Chains A and B, each alone.
Chain A
Amino acid sequence: MRVTKAWTGTAARLTLAAVLGFAGAVKFQDLAVADRSVAAYQIVPAETALLVGTALPFIEVAIAVLLAVGLATRAMATLTALLMAAYTAAIASVWARGLSIDCGCFGGGGTLTSGAERGYVIDIARDLLFLGAAVFLIRHPRTRYALDRRLLDVKEE
């Protein structure tokens, strides 16, 4: 049972690392677009949105790297869970306010003419799935092939 969890944890860790790494890397291609897609949510003032838009890809990539090597897994899983919860809330808020935007989850972003609602359902479902993976990691942070093992389980003389 423990072994299965450790392997499941590794899968969750690597999946989240891949997703966050990709999401961050794509945004780096055009930070101006990333800024604008945060602004499109109209949750924070435009000036703050520009700051958040630039900061998010850095945060995503940093978490992705640490998750990939398995360092501070529980802390990174907590950050990921917070991030996913925030994304879910943001999309839900946009939906509730009747705005029509592209989530900009993986770059792009901005206003949309049609098909936004279907997009919201998919985006929220996906973010909740990742949130689940992050919560699993918070509960079972010890996974296979993680640097945490080397760092935390040192033999004491």
Chain B
Amino acid sequence: MRSSDTTGATDASVREMVRKRHRRRRATLVSLVAVFVVVGGALVGVGLVRAGDSGPGEAPSRVPAGAASDKSGLVFSDGPVRVDIYLDYLCPACRDTERSLAPVLTTLRADRDITLVYHPVAFLDDYSDPAGYSTQAASAAACAADQGHFEQYSSVLFDLQPPERGPGLSEAQLVAAGREAGITDDSFATCVDDAPYLPWVTYVSDVAASDDIALTPTVTVNGTRVDVTGSDPGAALAGAVAEAGR
């Protein structure tokens, strides 16, 4: 009897050890499966999103004067090096970029060094209240392009740039900004009012997004990003253009 007692105690401790070991093994297995599910789920999810992402929709039929042949921007000047500028009228950094690049761009264009393409994108639609100021402003800028005053109008819009989370400029203010930019034709007001270029702005934004342009301002020279956040964006751009043109 005594011997069986000891055996019983040993059995119990052995059983306990086995139980613990099994538990550990199960815990490890469950953990591994769970981590696998999380990571695998994310990969599948990204795959599905990528696959379902049809890219930009069909190009709109109506585009402003001066639109690029692929309708993804507005072309100014003609030259061997291509410079793409992506701007959002609500983005504070875009205002600074626009201002600091203006003199360099003028020189580069005068020298016929660059093909300048502007992409007025609407990435910050959620940052005005009511939402959608970015699109509205870009659409008005497209109207200004029809009048041949896109750049002047852009610069006025940046001067008048409303703060984020505010209502943005009203339609009347957008029209008034046109007069300030030197637009005299009455059809501009009609265009701002009818906003025929809303689909175009969406298209420009979608093409930019599918080209991996995630932020504004973005400036590319022959497709390569140029850092315009430094202390002298103008010099950075001029340098990149000189490098590309070599």
- Residues of A in contact with B (beta carbons under 8 Å apart): 30-33, 35-36, 38-40, 42, 46-47, 49-51, 54-55, 57-59, 62-63, 66, 71-72, 74-76, 79, 108, 110-113, 148, 151-154, 156
Which 9 A-B pairs give the minimum distances between C-beta atoms?
A72-B34, A39-B214, A75-B31, A58-B45, A58-B42, A62-B38, A55-B42, A59-B42, A62-B41
Q: Is B123 on the interface with A (CB-CB < 8 A)?
A: yes
Chain A neighbourhood of B92, CB < 8 A: 111, 113
B159 CB-CB contact with A under 8 Å: no
Interchain CA distance A76-B39 in the complex, whole Å: 11
Q: Contact: B123 with A76, CB < 8 Å?
A: no
Residue of B at shortest CB range from A49? B214
A47-B42 contact given A153-B23, A156-B22, CB 8 Å threshold: no
Would you list 27 pairs from A and B whose C-beta atoms are within 8 A, ordered by A residue?
Answer: A33-B126, A35-B214, A36-B214, A42-B215, A46-B212, A46-B225, A49-B214, A50-B214, A54-B50, A58-B45, A62-B37, A66-B37, A71-B34, A72-B30, A72-B31, A72-B34, A72-B35, A74-B27, A75-B30, A75-B32, A111-B93, A111-B215, A112-B164, A148-B30, A152-B23, A152-B30, A156-B19
Q: Is the CB of A50 within 8 A of B212?
A: yes
Contact A152 B26 (CB under 8 A): yes
Please tell me which one of the listed residues A57, A63, A113, A152 contacts residue B27 in the complex, with CB atoms under 8 A apart.
Answer: A152
Shortest distance from the beta carbon of A140 to any chain B beta carbon, whole Å: 14
**Once bound together, how far apart are the Cα atoms of A42 and B214, in whole Å?**
10
B49, CB-defined interface residue at 8 Å? yes
B217 to chain A, nearest CB (A): 10
B181 at the interface (CB under 8 A from A): no
Residue of A nearest to B206 (CB): A32
Q: List chain B residues, Cβ under 8 A from A57.
A: 45
* Residues in A neighbouring B214, C-beta threshold 8 A: 35-36, 38-40, 46, 49-50
Cα distance, A153 to B18, chains bound together (Å): 13
Chain B interface size band reads 35 or more
Which residue of chain A has the shortest Cβ distance to B26 in the bound complex?
A152
Q: Which of A42, A54, A79, A151 contacts B45 (CB 8 A)?
A: A54
**Contacts of A46 on B, CB cut-off 8 Å?**
212-215, 225
Asked if B65 lies at the interface with its beta carbon under 8 angstroms from chain A, I say no
Does A108 contact B126, Cβ atoms closer than 8 Å? yes
B215 touches A32 (CB 8 A): no
Give the docked Cα–Cα distance between A18 and B38 (Å): 17
Having A71-B34, A72-B30, one finds 19 other A-B pairs with CB under 8 Å, namely A30-B126, A32-B209, A33-B126, A40-B214, A46-B215, A54-B46, A58-B41, A59-B38, A59-B42, A66-B37, A66-B38, A72-B33, A72-B35, A74-B27, A74-B31, A75-B35, A110-B124, A113-B92, A156-B22
A55 engages B45 (CB within 8 Å): yes
Kindly state whether residue B127 has any CB partner on chain A within 8 Å: yes
A residues in contact with B46, CB < 8 Å = 51, 54-55, 58
Interchain CB contact (< 8 A) of A36 among B18, B41, B123: B123
- B91 CB within 8 Å of chain A: yes
Instruction: State which residues 7-62 of B face A: CB under 8 Å.
Output: 15, 18-19, 22-23, 26-27, 30-35, 37-39, 41-43, 45-46, 49-50
**Smallest CB-CB separation from A51: which chain B residue?**
B46
Enumerate chain A residues within 8 angstroms of B22, measured Cβ to Cβ: 156
